[in-house]
Amino acid sequence: MSETPDSEVVELASRIFDLARQGDAEALAAYIDAGAPVNLTNDKGDSLVMLAAYHGHAAAVAALVDRGADPNRPNDRGQTPLAGAVFKGEDAVIRALLAAGADPEAGTPSAVDTARMFGKADLLELFGSR
């Protein structure tokens, strides 16, 4: 049984995904506090944390994980927010995710695998010290 999604709900979700991409931590927090799902995902399985992390927004990542977002939630391709942040070279996001309990070994490829692939010895050392 397939129902057509309510266009207003789709529009609201799109707006929230855009806020994550733009890093608007305050507005994201307000939507989550008002009842939007903190682990909302798009049609590719990208969570709000994934979008904020991939676009380099540490404050938005922190606001989401402080409200219960899963820092290890993979997208439909098995990628985690931490691996995405390593790929993009987003050090502040990496540290925010690690502080929130992100697992460097989670996902495919994992953050560890991604750091190895790009020769990021400093991150491998950071991950190893956890």
pLDDT in tens, 2-38: 677 788 988 999 999 999 999 999 999 999 999 999 9
Count of residues making up the chain: 130
Question: Rounded distance, CA 75 to CA 41, Å?
Answer: 8
Alpha carbon 4 to chain centroid, angstroms: 27
Residue type for position 105? E
> What gap in Å lies between CA 41 and CA 119, rounded to an integer?
31
In a domain, 1, yes or no: no
Structural domain boundaries, residue 63:
7-128
pLDDT at 5: 76
User: Is 2 inside a domain boundary?
Assistant: no
Q: What's the pTM? A: 0.92
Q: Is residue 91 part of a domain?
A: yes
Report the number of distinct structural domains present in the chain: 1
Q: What is the dihedral of CA 17, 22, 71, 46, to 10 degrees?
A: 40
Ranges of the chain with pLDDT below 50: 1
**Assigned domain for 97 exists:** yes
The predicted pLDDT at position 89 comes to 94
Dist CA 10 CA 6 (whole Å): 6
Contacts of residue 28, defined as CB under 8 A and 6 or more positions apart, other chains included, come to 16, 19, 20, 48, 52, 60, 63, 64
112 belongs to a structural domain: yes
Quickly tell me which residue has 């994980």 as its tokens: 65
111 lies in some domain = yes
pLDDT of residue 2: 62
What is the predicted pLDDT for the residue at 130?
57
d(CA 99, CA 50): 16
CATH number at residue 69: 1.25.40.20
Residue at 118 is within a domain: yes
